Structure 1
Amino acid sequence: MDTGPDTRMPTCRGVDIEEASITQLQRWLQDGRFSAADLTECYLERTRRINGVLRAVIELNPDAVDIARERDGERQRGFLRSPLHGIPFLVKDNIATKDKMQTTAGSTMLIGAEVPEDAEVVKLLREAGAVLLGHANLSEWASMRATYYAEAYSSRGGQSRNPYDLAENPGGSSCGPAAAVAANMCAFSLGTETDSSVILPADRNGVVGIKPTVGLTSREGVIPESHNLDTVACELGGEKWLTRSYSDFITQLVGLKNWKGSRFGMPWKRVWEKAALDKSARTQYQSLQALIDRLRAAGAEVIQVEIPSAEGHPEHSEYTVVKVDFYNDVKKYLAGLTINPNNIRSLEDVVEYNIKHTEREGGVPGTHPAWPTGQDSFEKSLASKGIEDETYKSALSFIRQKTREEGIDAALCHEGKPLDGLLVPVQADGGVAVQIAAQAGYAMITIPVDVGDDGVPFGLAIIQTAFEDDKLVKYGAAIEAVVGGRPRPTFRNIHADNWMYVGVPPDEKNEPASRAR
């Protein structure tokens, strides 16, 4: 009888590393409980056991163990590069690595292509001593190619799934990095976000997701979508990961007296009211409200605020900006490849390749179940020709004004005094709060809270203004300390083989939904 994959976490030299934070792992490495090579082998074994059903990892680094041994040698000589020395991580398959792996955005057309160098974020992590385990799966081309598609699917990686319930959507395009961390296949991962693509899957996979202010992290070497919205972001797992990383701050904050003076806003009409009225997510709403009551009881002031409406002309949409940016930005990225065997130089070439290989890549509507609408979003971008006309400029100005000074910044200034953040439920009303933060380019963090009636995790997120990222991490850690850690994945419906569609169905004519890019 087929009982399915072994979902038990392998021990590392007898040490149970499931749900271990980076700080814990580093302590064990320092104490000699196991080596970086042992730790890397353990995560690789975990991946071998469960990736066949999760499809969270698209490719493993054949040099990972050798790299870990090099870090062990440095440790033995007394040389520690950083707190990440010897810690294994994954990157989304649109973040370039100059090694024996491919960087393809999940598409077969870029197999064999070579990048000139590591993405800047990968370079910095290697210099810090972290061990790159491999590339994580994603929604192909970071959910840019179609208006209605199978979320978390790529032609290279297949259908990525949620380790809590494999029949449920794992979230936006950074699904693989989130699912891998949630399932303890690595210590941390890097994803990318244009709109919701890190925060939403982190929330739905029960891990911490940190999306920095746009421009704070380098995007060099990342297959782009929009230079106006893109950012590299981080997904982290483990019980009380933030709490252990910011223990000094938590020691000061968890006391009843020291919560006093902290002030947070709850955007009501645009976010929380919708959550309160959603009967299907009643358990979520009640659990999050109970958590906020606990914060108030600990001395925090939590105030109902409003984010002003961002209603405008349909041309004043996020996608009006993204479709132009993508045309130009992807051309620039492709021009930098040192080897390009399929001669993919532009979006025109991308579209043509998908049509030519439509049985595998679904370039023509109705020829592949993952892409019922083919590549209609690519085609809209193609039609723009990358022209930054008055419509483009007006749309960019509009979404920034309505989400920045007339949006988040206005909500953060309550009665003339700044708030420490806006508290929001990530999944309410299709992720509207995440979209507002994405269009503003502002920082956001989500902290896992519980699992809903549908078996999918949910969390509480904080939004701040530009370059106030440190406040999010600190207060996120404080909230995590109150929550007390996340429930572990249950691998419910482990034999699921369904498609998980999102976006605008083929019979509805509309602009592409902005969520999860």
Structure 2
Amino acid sequence: MKTIKALCWLAFFVLFSANSWAADDPTIEQLQYQLNRGELTSVVLVERYLDRIAQHNRDGAELQAVLSVQEREKLLQQAKQLDAEREAGKTRSSMHGIPVLLKDNIDTADGLANTAGSYLLRDHMPPNDAFIVAKLREAGAIILGKANLSEWANFRSTNSSSGWSSLGGLVKNPYDQSRTACGSSSGSAAAVSANFIPVAVGTETDGSLVCPAAINGIVTIKPTVGLLSRDGIIPISASQDTAGPMARSVADAVHLMMAMLGYDKSDAASYNDTVNYVEHLKTDGLKGKRIGVMRELAGYNNELDRVFNRRIEELEAAGAIIVDDLRFPNGRNWGGDEYTVLLYEFAHGMREYFEQSPHPDFSSLEDLIAANKEHAGVTMKWFGQELFEMSVARQADHEDYKQAKADAKRKAGKEGIDAVLKEHNLDMLIAPTVSPAWKIDLINGDHFTGSASGAAAVAGYPHITVPMGFVQHMPVGLSFFGTARSEGVLIEAAHAFELMTQARRAPVVASPH
């Protein structure tokens, strides 16, 4: 009997190993295990992901998640060098030899254009790597290419459809190509979800990491503003912008984030952080945590609420102390101030970006407005550029901007998140991340019904979303957010929740025809 059982387990192991690439969406730790044992090389890894992208990006499932990839020979040469280092006993980090996609608003100096998804910047070649890209290369990551996105990070029109860009087309949701991938980090999220890549880098001003992560069934960490440098990233707001890791697990997101950490004197918000966030990947990370349930950020979808309520019971069963039915003391009263801040900072930020990353034809938002009009048949096929024009018009309102900036931070931070945490002696707050994915509508734009992104985005505080289940066939996410620099405690809770629930199911990526 023991022999039969042993043979059965051996057969299972062989079958599991043979199918693990397609079925398991391998984690960074699994890949490193295989790489270190010589069962896999980074060369093979690069080829596999390139083939996967070729199979389902413009063909097959037609996800349109990837805008550009580096030349195959360049990638293979990098991979060979990293394989040789590993063989010689040198492993730079947990990202050594791991391919990564970057959202296409992040500078690289390797021959890949940085476009913000716009036809106008199709030939924009930055002179330097962004700070976080340099850190990734130093850590041994392989920059495979650039991910599609909502054009200009979804800050061009008041009537846009998330995931569409004039250069890359419309990103599709791998769970249902008729539904949104959200944005603006649409391609980064869809690519990770569909196993085009192990991990990707996205960016957020308000919701652009957490919305696509939740809607595509993956994890993201939107860090405290300043934890990751914004150097070399096409901006919207110096007050709220941040890059962040996108992954299929909390652990993978942490490994990618760790590889991008570093103080950058060129970024006024940057700070030196010496925390090893890998140490916060605790299996018992929920035990004793005081968690506040933000009912103000729920209640807009009955099925979503049912999933949310079930997970709250499980959090409590895992040892968390739940404080329910919470609301912000003054409501969500920061929206008008946030809008003023974003409009004012955008035009300033674009001028500064083009000073550091010059383009032969553009140096300001005014230049881009004129060029969009000239190429309207391509760039403004589905929607206009009202936000561009409003940003330029607000440049004289400096005093209004300064007041709005102070008010927004105070309302969302000290009088919002921090006030709720303090009143109830909480470690963090939770809510459903965003509504289930809506049908794509290029005529009327997005159909948001609710989101938890605003408070943490405006305050500049950390926010993690983790898959928590499904509403019918579409994934939905659970948000953990808290005060500034509380990434460690959020990671503990999010990781333990993920291990406990195992809520993610990979999409079936196939041709829709």
- Classify the TM-score, shorter chain: 0.7 to 0.9
Supply the distance in 2 between the matched residues of 1:294 and 1:485 (Cα, whole angstroms).
Answer: 12
SS at match of 2:21: coil
Supply the distance in 2 between the matched residues of 1:120 and 1:243 (Cα, whole angstroms).
Answer: 18
| 1:411 correspondence with 2:388 | no
1:391 to 393, 396, 400: 400
1:55 Cα deviation after fit: 0.4
| 1:169 correspondence with 2:192 | no
Contact 1:242–1:473 at 8 Å: present in 2 too?
no
Supply the distance in 2 between the matched residues of 1:110 and 1:244 (Cα, whole angstroms).
Answer: 31
| 1:290 correspondence with 2:310 | yes
| 1:448 correspondence with 2:474 | no
Supply the distance in 1 between the matched residues of 2:459 and 2:390 (Cα, whole angstroms).
Answer: 23
Map of 1:475 onto structure 2: 493
Q: Counterpart amino acid of 1:117?
A: N
Map of 1:502 onto structure 2: none
Contact 1:92–1:177 at 8 Å: present in 2 too?
yes
Q: How does 1:223-262 map to 2 (within 5 A)?
A: 223-237=234-248, 241=252, 253=284, 259-262=286-289
Map of 1:329 onto structure 2: 349
Contact 1:423–1:461 at 8 Å: present in 2 too?
yes
1:490 Cα deviation after fit: 2.9
Q: How does 1:56-455 map to 2 (within 5 A)?
A: 56-62=65-71, 63-237=74-248, 241=252, 253=284, 259-268=286-295, 270-272=296-298, 275=299, 278=300, 281-304=301-324, 305-310=326-331, 316-338=336-358, 340-341=359-360, 343-362=361-380, 368=381, 370-371=382-383, 374-385=384-395, 387=396, 389-415=398-424, 417=425, 419-428=426-435, 430-453=449-472, 455=473
Gapped runs of 5+ residues in structure 1?
1-10, 363-367, 496-517
Provide closer, same or farther for how the CA distance between residues 325 and 177 of structure 1 changes in structure 2, counting only shifts above 3 A: same
Q: Counterpart amino acid of 2:429?
A: L
Provide closer, same or farther for how the CA distance between residues 260 and 346 of structure 1 changes in structure 2, counting only shifts above 3 A: closer
Provide closer, same or farther for how the CA distance between residues 381 and 282 of structure 1 changes in structure 2, counting only shifts above 3 A: same
Supply the distance in 1 between the matched residues of 2:511 and 2:250 (Cα, whole angstroms).
Answer: 24
1:14 Cα deviation after fit: 7.4
SS at match of 2:408: helix
**Which sits farther off after the overlay, 174-183 or 455-464?**
455-464
1:390 Cα deviation after fit: 2.1
Provide closer, same or farther for how the CA distance between residues 443 and 449 of structure 1 changes in structure 2, counting only shifts above 3 A: same
Q: Counterpart amino acid of 1:261?
A: G
Contact 1:421–1:472 at 8 Å: present in 2 too?
yes
Provide closer, same or farther for how the CA distance between residues 383 and 217 of structure 1 changes in structure 2, counting only shifts above 3 A: same
1:492 Cα deviation after fit: 7.8
| 1:43 correspondence with 2:53 | no
1:358 Cα deviation after fit: 0.8
Supply the distance in 2 between the matched residues of 1:205 and 1:330 (Cα, whole angstroms).
Answer: 30
Map of 1:464 onto structure 2: 482
Supply the distance in 1 between the matched residues of 2:184 and 2:132 (Cα, whole angstroms).
Answer: 19
1:491 Cα deviation after fit: 4.3
Q: Counterpart amino acid of 2:385?
A: Q
SS at match of 2:174: coil
Q: Counterpart amino acid of 2:471?
A: G
Contact 1:181–1:207 at 8 Å: present in 2 too?
yes
1:157 Cα deviation after fit: 0.6
1:438 Cα deviation after fit: 0.6
Contact 2:303–2:471 at 8 Å: present in 1 too?
yes
Greater relative CO, 1 or 2 (CA 8 Å, sep 6+): 1
Provide closer, same or farther for how the CA distance between residues 250 and 93 of structure 1 changes in structure 2, counting only shifts above 3 A: closer
Q: Could you state the TM-score of these two structures normalised by the residue count of structure 2?
A: 0.85
Q: Counterpart amino acid of 1:31?
A: R
**Which sits farther off after the overlay, 147-156 or 120-129?**
147-156
Contact 2:462–2:485 at 8 Å: present in 1 too?
yes
1:116 Cα deviation after fit: 2.0
How many residue pairs are counted as aligned between the two chains?
Answer: 459
SS at match of 1:178: helix
1:378 Cα deviation after fit: 0.6
Supply the distance in 2 between the matched residues of 1:217 and 1:404 (Cα, whole angstroms).
Answer: 20
**Which sits farther off after the overlay, 286-295 or 436-445?**
286-295
Supply the distance in 2 between the matched residues of 1:252 and 1:160 (Cα, whole angstroms).
Answer: 35
1:228 Cα deviation after fit: 0.5
Supply the distance in 1 between the matched residues of 2:333 and 2:96 (Cα, whole angstroms).
Answer: 49
Q: Deviations over 1:422-466 (max 9, x none)?
A: 01101157444211111111100000022212x321011100100
Contact 2:115–2:121 at 8 Å: present in 1 too?
yes
Supply the distance in 1 between the matched residues of 2:96 and 2:128 (Cα, whole angstroms).
Answer: 21
SS at match of 1:413: helix
Q: Percentage identity across aligned positions?
A: 37
Supply the distance in 1 between the matched residues of 2:160 and 2:254 (Cα, whole angstroms).
Answer: 37
Supply the distance in 2 between the matched residues of 1:157 and 1:423 (Cα, whole angstroms).
Answer: 34
SS at match of 2:362: coil
Q: Deviations over 1:199-224 (max 9, x none)?
A: 00000000001100011110000001
1:309 Cα deviation after fit: 2.6
1:336 Cα deviation after fit: 2.0
SS at match of 2:322: strand
Q: Deviations over 1:449-489 (max 9, x none)?
A: 22212x32101110010011111112110110111241111
Supply the distance in 2 between the matched residues of 1:21 and 1:361 (Cα, whole angstroms).
Answer: 38
Contact 2:369–2:388 at 8 Å: present in 1 too?
yes
Q: Counterpart amino acid of 1:43?
A: Y
Provide closer, same or farther for how the CA distance between residues 34 and 204 of structure 1 changes in structure 2, counting only shifts above 3 A: same
1:68 Cα deviation after fit: 1.1
**Which sits farther off after the overlay, 283-292 or 218-227?**
283-292
Contact 2:220–2:250 at 8 Å: present in 1 too?
no
Q: Deviations over 1:341-369 (max 9, x none)?
A: 4x11111100000000111111xxxxx1x
Supply the distance in 2 between the matched residues of 1:267 and 1:114 (Cα, whole angstroms).
Answer: 44
Map of 1:507 onto structure 2: none
1:310 Cα deviation after fit: 4.3
